[in-house]
Amino acid sequence: MRKLFGTDGVRGTANQEPMTAETALKIGMAAGRQFLRGDHRHRAVIGKDTRLSGYLLEPALTAGFIAMGMDVILVGPMPTPAIAMLTRSLRADIGVMISASHNPYQDNGIKLFGPDGCKLSDEIEAEIEHRIGNGIEKDLVPSDRLGRAMRLDDALGRYMEHVKTTFPRGLTLDGLRIVVDCAHGAAYKVAPTVLWELGAEVVQIGVTPDGLNINRDCGSTAPEAMCEAIRTHKAHLGIALDGDADRMVLADETGALVDGDQIMALIARSWQESGRLQGGGIVATVMSNLGLERYLKKHGLELARVQVGDRYVVEYMHKHGYNVGGEQSGHIIFGDFGTTGDGLIAALQVLAEIVRAQRPTSEVVRCFNPLPQLLRSIRFGETAPLEDSDVLCAIQQGKSSLGEEGRLLIRKSGTEPLIRIMAEGSDEALIDRVVDNIVTTIERKAR
């Protein structure tokens, strides 16, 4: 059983367990030992976002890998997908991203990638936890086999060139005014530069990180600033990334938001027409709207659903031969270009469709009418409300009320102490009543 790892690595409040220097050291040691293979010189790549606590966790992880005989390549603030790409490009044995994604600066996290650039499976994470719990100190290497650390100065340039190669040759962004909100996070340098180099007029916000302002009133989870900037600057569209830039949300020329479901619908249909789509459809999570599923079905495409978490999307894509997948929240994975969600690459694929269509963003990106969907989150403490009989009864009543024309999903967040309730269907008033009843019941039990 995994206790340390959640749905996206290890995450928590910085300088409190499990996000302490001591635990980061042990994770580095255990992960390093896990990926010692053969007698070659082993390497770990470590990147981070712009949180102040990155200065705490980066040297601790570095020391852990060095203690296991691994060399460490430090690349500084970089998007999560850049770490996945560099791990493969540098033939490294493991990649590490220090980030809590869309969480506020007080939190931080550790995401691990294998030598293939993919996030680790549940089984490997469980093995790493087992090593930590069974005294990883016994595996320390002799003094003459300690690793070394170096900084890779051109890492940003390598990633930017990789990203630009995903944008079709012969197309440019000339004539487009684009707002990009980097959430004061990992992409604060690369995203505006890539868009500018491809020809866009760039209005940039969220590009002055101070260690404490990441995701604060900006980025993909607070896109109001981007939407306002679109209207103020009369931009053609806006792109809002999260703190580690592995996901994004779009807004059209009116400032209206476009979620990941619409983006996946747009790309799926376009790639189907051009013969690029593999697997006969796309992969999404249980959170994606029924409207997306019906749209794809109308065009002869399948929507395969998996549990929440972009790594589960990737695993299913690899296993069943899909090359497009993602999450409603804006994690979009293109198997042709990478092994994890990449907000900037996803944005470029949408921009390519807009350039080809020569029509307003609002006309290009809205492919289907989503069914009404309501999502609520409830914070809980030491209780286990989802095991309570009254809560289970309320959930069953909700499912019965929605029937076959709707959906109800109740799950624990894998990154925060939250219970998430999602309901959708054609009757918006019914959805409100179902969710309100479940929320009220859980709140009463969670006190």
Q: What is the pLDDT of residues 94-120, one digit of tens each?
A: 999 999 999 999 999 999 999 999 999
Question: Which residues lie closer than 8 Å to 411 by C-beta, 6 or more apart?
Answer: 308, 419, 420
Give per-residue pLDDT as tens, 30-42: 999 999 988 899 9
Single out the residue of 163, 126, 184, 138 nearest to residue 29, CA to CA: 138
Among residues 53, 99, 101, 270, the one annotated as catalytic is 101
Q: Residue 166: inside a domain, yes or no?
A: no
Residue 166 structure tokens: 């995903």
The mean pLDDT value of the chain amounts to: 95
**pLDDT given for residue 314 in this prediction:** 94
Query: Is 129 domain-assigned?
Result: yes
In which domain, by residue range, is 118 found?
10-156
231 and 332 assigned to the same domain: no
pLDDT of residue 2: 79
CATH of the domain at 399: 3.30.310.50
Q: Does 4 map to a domain?
A: no
Mean pLDDT along residues 402-421: 84
Mean pLDDT across the stretch 138-142? 95
Region 406-417: mean pLDDT is 82
Helices (H) then strands (E): counts for the chain: 14, 18
Whether residues 21 and 140 fall in one domain:
yes
Mean pLDDT check: name the lowest of 6-10, 225-229, 329-333: 6-10
Nearest to 158 by CA among 234, 62, 107, 86: 86
Output the pLDDT for position 404: 81
Angle between helices 260-274 and 343-357 (to 10 degrees): 60
CA 395 to chain centre: 29
Q: Select from 415, 413, 418, 286 the least CA-distant residue to 8.
A: 415
Detail the DSSP E strand segments found in 340-425.
373-379, 407-412, 418-424
Q: Last residue of a domain, which of 302, 335, 365?
A: 365
- Across 10-105, the runs of DSSP E, i.e. the strands, are 10-13, 43-48, 71-77, 94-98
Number of separate domains in the chain? 4
Output 353-361 pairs: Cβ under 8 A, ≥24 positions apart: 353/266, 353/267, 353/270, 354/176, 354/236, 354/237, 355/171, 355/172, 355/173, 355/176, 356/171, 360/236, 360/252, 360/253, 361/236, 361/237, 361/250, 361/252, 361/253
Q: What is the mean pLDDT of residues 421-444?
A: 91
Asked if residue 86 and residue 151 are part of one domain, the reply reads yes
**Distance of CA 75 to CAs 22, 47, 250, Å?**
22, 5, 28
Tokens for 435? 């969710």
87: in domain: yes
Q: How many CB atoms lie within 10 A of CB 217?
A: 12
Q: Which of 317, 342, 365 marks a domain boundary?
A: 365
Q: Residue 371's pLDDT is what?
A: 92
Q: Confirm whether 389 is domain-assigned.
A: yes
- How far apart (Å, rounded) are the C-alpha atoms in residues 90 and 217? 36
pLDDT in tens, 370-405: 999 899 988 877 677 788 888 899 999 999 999 887
pLDDT at 387: 82
Residues 264 and 395 in one domain: no
CA distance 307 to 342: 19
Q: What mean pLDDT is predicted for residues 244-256?
A: 97
281 & 341 share domain: yes
Q: Are residues 212 and 308 in the same domain?
A: no
Cα-only R_g, the chain:
22
pLDDT of residue 36: 95
What pairing do the DSSP bridges indicate for beta strands 407-412 and 373-379?
unpaired
Q: Residue 273 domain-assigned? A: yes
Same domain, residue pair 114 and 215? no
Q: How deeply is 333 buried, as exposed, middle or buried, from its count of CB atoms within 10 A (0-12, 13-18, 19+)?
A: buried
Check pLDDT > 70 for residue 299. Answer: yes
Are 28 and 142 part of one and the same domain?
yes
> What's the pLDDT at 446?
64
SS3 of 438, please? helix
Q: 359 with 378, same domain?
A: no
Q: Is 101 a catalytic residue?
A: yes
Confidence of residue 447 (pLDDT cuts 50, 70, 90): low
Same domain, 14 and 152: yes
**Residues 342 and 386 both lie in one domain:** no
Q: Is the same domain home to 130 and 151?
A: yes
Overall average pLDDT of the 70-99 stretch: 98
| The domain boundary residue, chosen from 156, 185, 209 | 156
Percent of the chain with pLDDT over 70: 98
Summarize pLDDT for 152-197 with one digit per residue, the tens: 999 999 999 999 999 999 999 999 999 999 999 999 999 999 999 9
pLDDT tens track for 188-226: 999 999 999 999 999 999 999 999 999 999 999 999 999
**pLDDT for position 185:** 98
d(CA 410, CA 377): 10
β-pair partners for 66: none
Query: Does residue 167 sit within a domain?
Result: no
User: Residue 231 maps to which CATH number?
Assistant: 3.40.120.10
Residue 2 lies in a domain: no
Average pLDDT, integer, range 297-317: 94
CA 326 – CA 438 distance, rounded (Å): 28
- State the burial class of residue 275 (Cβ atoms within 10 Å of its Cβ: 0-12, 13-18, 19+): exposed
| Confidence (pLDDT) at 318 | 96
